[in-house]
Amino acid sequence: MRIKITVSYKGTNYCGFQIQQNGNTVQEELENAIYKITGEKSTVIPSGRTDSGVHALGQVAHFDTNSNIPPEKFTSALNAYLPKDIRVQKSEPANVNFHARYSAKRKTYCYTYYFAEQDNPLISEFCERVNKPLNIELMKKAALYLKGTHDFAGFTNTGSFVNNTVRTLYNIKIKTEKEEIEKVKIYINGNGFLYNMVRIIASTLKDVGLGKKPPQIIKNIIQTGNRNLASPTAPPNGLCLLFVEYDI
């Protein structure tokens, strides 16, 4: 039987989702927990890898099992063996045709900046600091160029080899949140993302908000595919994979 799980994790203490030779990974923790429950060495397939230090609210993954445990019982069973910074939110039966990666239609990421003169330990694990206020209107203007189907070759890091760098971004929202601390949240919803794409978009929009680059820079990067026109990759702590959407 195929089981679909929705998982939240704080990425701070992990070397990303995918199993590696050295370092803790979310996948390893999940597979160890499954082994303790079922005695089976299942492989956990996610909707996509998240990098070292990146968080997830609703990462989706699947695995196969021959056990008789009812699918919905895996939630509490896995949580009993998982470390506190990884929590299964939901487990459910999945169609044999369901594949967490290949069936994924849309994903939503959020990158969060906060404005403060000094680091704030209450949020610094989940947000990246800027030391000047961001001009949201300029950022929104820049974001308009990103919407739609484009070649995002200029928004990915070398070292990633994919044939097709065309992706569709359905929506980009930039919202401010002003509780005790002023935050700027960049929500990006698309059909797929290149390596480091969200973090390069976030840092470039941030530099637009700081007045370091004009909003039109986004248009230039898309047209030229020139990675050097975009900003350095934003740190992982500000990034969170929020949701993954499926048709099946």
Task: Report, as residue numbers or ranges, the catalytic residues.
Answer: 51
Pick one of 4, 10, 62, 199: the residue that binds a second copy (CB under 8 A). Answer: 10
Contact indicator for 41, 27 with CB cutoff of 8 Å = no
Structure tokens at 143: 């974001």
- Which one, 142 or 239, has the nearer CB to a second copy? 239
Residue 52 is a binding residue for a second copy (CB under 8 A): no
Contact indicator for 53, 111 with CB cutoff of 8 Å = no
Across the strands, what pairs with 151? Answer: 166
Structure tokens at 61: 């993954």
Residues 6+ apart with CB under 8 A from 58: 6, 7, 8, 89, 241, 242, 243, 244
Contact indicator for 62, 98 with CB cutoff of 8 Å = yes
Location of structure tokens 């030391």: 131
Looking at residue 238, what DSSP letter applies?
Answer: G
Structure tokens at 185: 């949240």
Q: For the CB of residue 142, give the shortest distance to a second copy in the complex, in Å.
A: 23
Structure tokens at 77: 């069973």
> Which residues ranging from 154 to 173 are in contact with a second copy (CB under 8 A)?
none
Pick one of 118, 131, 163, 228: the residue that binds a second copy (CB under 8 A). Answer: 118
Pick one of 1, 8, 98, 227: the residue that binds a second copy (CB under 8 A). Answer: 8
Pick one of 57, 69, 136, 166: the residue that binds a second copy (CB under 8 A). Answer: 57
Residue 80 is a binding residue for a second copy (CB under 8 A): no
Residue 55 is a binding residue for a second copy (CB under 8 A): yes
Residue 66 is a binding residue for a second copy (CB under 8 A): no
Calpha distance 50→237 (Å, rounded): 12
Pick one of 60, 88, 172, 208: the residue that binds a second copy (CB under 8 A). Answer: 88
- Which one, 45 or 57, has the nearer CB to a second copy? 57
Query: b vs e for 50-59, b when ≥16 Cβ sit within 10 Å of the residue's Cβ?
Result: bbbbbbbebb
Residue 131 is a binding residue for a second copy (CB under 8 A): no
Q: For the CB of residue 16, give the shortest distance to a second copy in the complex, in Å.
A: 16
Residue 25 is a binding residue for a second copy (CB under 8 A): no
Residue 89 is a binding residue for a second copy (CB under 8 A): yes
Q: What is the binding site for a second copy (CB under 8 A)?
A: 8-10, 55, 57, 75, 79, 84-89, 110, 116-122, 124, 126, 177, 179-181, 240, 242
